[in-house]
Every structure is written in structure tokens, then in C-alpha cells.
Structure 1
Amino acid sequence: MKTFSYRTAGTSSDGLAPDAVFLAGGTNLVDLMKLGVATPDVLVDVTKLPLGDVTELPGGGLRIGAAVRNSDLAADLRVRDCYPVLSQALLAGASGQLRNMATTGGNLLQRTRCRYFMEPSMPCNKHAPGSGCPAQTGDHRNLAVLGGSPECVATHPSDMAVALAALGAVVRVDGVAGERTIPVTELHRLPGDHPERDTVLEHGELITAVDLPALPFAARSAYRKARDRASYAFAVGSVAAALDVEDGLVRDVRLAFGAVAPKPWRAFAAEEALRGRPAVHQSFMDAADAELAAARPLRDNAYKIPLLRNLTAAVLTRLAEEVR
């Protein structure tokens, strides 16, 4: 591991030096440093900043501090009762030991687990722009079928971020230019011609909180994850959903996919196709088809399309049955 300097942040502006990187739980960053993928000169520990609370917002909803641990957030009764999809996603995301260390802000900023990115000796446009994307013809079984480009087909690994995308969460950020807010659906970038940039954050910007909107029907929500083994593993496909049904019709719905795109994928086309339709299995299958029509699978990952279609229908059917 490269030698680095370490200091503790007193304010959110303490990490603005060009060579500084923020450190919270370290469950992803430290791994990347050990591999030689991340090579910061300075680590700025932000765990002492007052960002560790979950508070209720005046108009309803919750504000989740960026330093709230995943285990604490998953166990919070307000989250479990009003946003069960988020609690379920967190519990599906990692072992108890990791959840006790990982933070809300750090979880959102995880880097991809693509094998070519994780090996610094391999070509990869994420850590060496212009070097190529060997995953296009190599090992891409668990990579993107939506939103990729010839430059990169990596997938975002977070389970929590998929639930937050479905819920319409908003990220609060502080930096040299002041505070700003970013919808979770706009935080992560699609690769395009610049796959080295995962997010729209500028250097030195720190996530301080995530706001969950007041969404009453999110109390009827769920997260389902398909993975290669039953123990903790990254998803090969996942679905986060919240469903509002009245008189057998879909009045409103929130839907997001995970492990199929370079960002948590809010399924806007599927949502639009569902509103006003009968809350039945065939409607849910048709809605998934509307979203997945844009999929562009590679040689070995076309299986994700029927997988997501079936996951979507299964999750929404179960939620619809809870109404009856």
C-alpha cells in the first residue's frame, strides 16, 4: 500500500486539498488502497463530524446523516415501518460486520466491483482513461445491460442506493461552492465518454445527508435481490419497489433496478406503463418489458433481462396481494 498522510476533519471543508480523499467506514476505499487501485496522498477522516443522526423532517420524511451506519439505519423503527424497502436492501447488502462499519454516504460512493477495474495492471478506462474496456469481450457476466457504453459496462454495486432511487431520495452535499442537493437518480453518471467519473460530485464535495421524502405508500414496499450464492454476495439483479393500489388498479408505483447499469436504475418507463393498469401479474410483466426494451446485453449477460422481468413481477405481485 502506498504511504499516505492521515488527519481528522473538523469541518466538511477540511478535505478540499487536491490530494485529499474523505474516509468514513473505509469498507470500500481501504480495499481499493490495498489493491493499488486507489492511491490517495491524504486521507481525511470525517467520522467525527456530526453526521450520525436520523431525524424527522418537518413536512414528513427522514433526514439520514451521511455517517449513519448501515446496521443502525436498517434497524431504525421509522425506516422499518415507513420504508421497509430500504431496511431490506441494507440487510441484503453485506454481513453484519460490514454493516457495523459502512456508512450511508460511503455506501452511495462505492466503486464498481468489475474485475478489470479491481486489478490495476489490467487496461480499464475507469482508472486509466483511453486504455480500453476489456470487459466488452471478456468477463462481463455480471455487468451492465442498461446505460453502458463502449467505454465501460461496469455496474454500481450498492443495494441501498437502489432502494433510495426507488424512494426518490435526495442527497445533500457540502463543498467549496456551498451546499447543494442532488436527487439520488442524478448522483451517479452514466459512463459515456468519461467512465472515470462515477458521480457528479466535484472534488472536495462531501455528502452530509440523504433526505427521504414523505411517501405514505412506501410502507408497502420491498427489495428482492438475486445473487450467485445464498450468503452475502453482490447482486446479479435486484428490484426495489413501492406500490399503491386502489380498487384493483395501480394508483402509483416506485420501481428501481440494481446490478444492471452503471448507476441505480430508476425504472421510469415501467412506472408510467403501470399507473392506471390492473394490479396483476401480467401488468407487472408488461411494465418490466417496457423498461427493458432499451437493454443492450453483451455475449454472456442477456440472462439479466428475463431475470429482472421475473423479479419485478414477483415483487410487485406480492405487494399487490398485501392489499387484498
Structure 2
Amino acid sequence: MKAMVITNFGGPEVFAEREIDKPQPSKNQVLVKVFATSVNPADCGVRQGFFGQSIELPAILGYDVSGVVEAVGENVSGLQVGDEVYYAIPHEDGGANAEYHIANASIIAKKPKNISHLEAASVPVAGGTAWAALITRANIQVGETVLIHGGAGGVGTFAIQIAKAAGAYVYTTCGGYDIDLVKSIGADTAIDYRKEDFTNIIMQETNGEGVDIAFTTVSGEILAKSLLVTKINGRAVTVTGVAGDLNTAIFKNITIHFVHLDDTRPKLDALRTLIERGQIKPVVGMTFELNQIAQAHKKQEEGGEDVYGKIVIEVA
């Protein structure tokens, strides 16, 4: 089978196309024909060597899968040949940048019926992360207010829609060129971070109270600044590295959650329900072929006005 492999860490140029043996499922495993995968910031971090010894070279990266069950091993129940599935692969494993992937049946969920494989491949890591942040950790409630930083990004586009489905009022920050996009998926107030100060806008609109939840997908001091506009006894969530003074959380009794995605299957089952109801629509910004994975990584790292939602890789 065809796979894109890295034999050392570095820039996008480390990818090389290889022909490798097609794997076969063992006990409790499923062989999936990969139709699509996607690029996440974590993919780029692994490729650059940020996860060190936990990644054994040579390696096949890729952590999102949408595909079709090709074969099942012993003791597998609930899945059969021909089922359309989607799932997230643990970062120490990887392997989606190939025509086939072996996974433990316990992590595999049925793909939403009303979206394509390209759309479904954008969901597992980003959608699961947004769900973990807002539902599992922040325990968002009907009628609450939430601030989502990076609303036009992969996690952000799912976070906006999850928050709206939960009955929240959504503030989000993004570039001015993405305001129409974030409003089209449910943002109530969109703030151009390049031209506007989100702290002033939120404190004015909330009569000085702030939001119930602040969620950041952006690294740096954004979390620290967001605590200034989070209510007393509110919650803050981050999925990135942080900097700055977080002591505001002490004086306002704010609970801060640091989120790393795990236990994805229940989250994907819940997301499938919302997707099939039409309450969540994956946002695919760009697509590349499997042998263009280096270009896709380069685009993910460069960003820019034309990069929004998820970058998806068509495999089959």
C-alpha cells in the first residue's frame, strides 16, 4: 500500500512516498481503508520532533481517519466489513497518512451518514477536542455566555457550533476576513482581534460581568488576558501552551482546565448525532492529495487569510 513516511524530524520536506505491506488485523483490531485524513497542529509538532522519544522512526503520521471497514479481527463486535467509520488515533501511534490503517475496535465510531469522507475526516481530533473542552470540562449550560478564541480554526469552528447547540451565547475572536464565516456557523458576536480589543467589547456588552466560559485555542498570553473578562466563579479552558500571569483566577475563583484529547469514541458518537441533525457542519477550508502532504503541512504552518476550518487530505 502507499504511505507517506518520515524517517527523520524536520520541515515538510521530510515526507517521502513509500510502498509498504498492507497490515492485517489481529484480535480486537479492525483494518480500515482510509478515504480521507486531515492535518492538525499536532501533526506538524510531531513531524518537527516536539514529542521526542514517544515517536519511533520511521513513522507514518496522521491522526484523523474517515474510511470503510475492510476486515475485522477476532472478538470484534458492532463493526463489520463495509461499515463507514471515523476515529482519532492516539498521537504516539499515528498512521492515517496511508491507504490502510489498523486500529483497536474500541476507538472506532460510525461515520455520520449525511457528510462525505472528506468532511468526516475533519471531525475526530478537532471536534473531539472542542467537545472535551466545552462539554466534558467546562460543562457548558443553556443560557451561558462563552468566549471562543480562534473561532475560524479547526477546533474553533467546532467549538462555536457545539456551544450554540448547547444553548449558549457565543463571542469569538478571529481575523476580520473570517467574520462572515464564524457568524454563518453560529457566532453571535465576532471580534476582529487585529483591530479590536475583546476585553473592552465583552465587558461593555455584559455590563461588566464578563463571560461564564473563556476557551482559547491560541497559545501565548491570551488565556491570562481572557481571565479578565471571565465571571467570578467562571471557567476557563485551554488546549494550548500558556504564558503570562494567571493569578487573576485566584482572586475571581475561576477554574482553569488544561485539555488534552482522550477517550474519543463517546465524543464522536455524540458529535455524529449533532451532525446528522444538522446542528454541526464540518468546515473544510482546503483539500490536498495524499502525495501532497508536505504542501498541506506547509500551508497549515503558514496560515493566512485563505486558511480556515480544517485542511483535509484525500486518500482514496
Q: TM-score, normalised on structure 1?
A: 0.24
Compare relative contact order (CA 8 Å, sep 6+) and give the higher one, 1 or 2. 2
Q: Which structure dedicates a bigger proportion of its chain to strand?
A: 2
Q: TM-score, normalised on structure 2?
A: 0.25
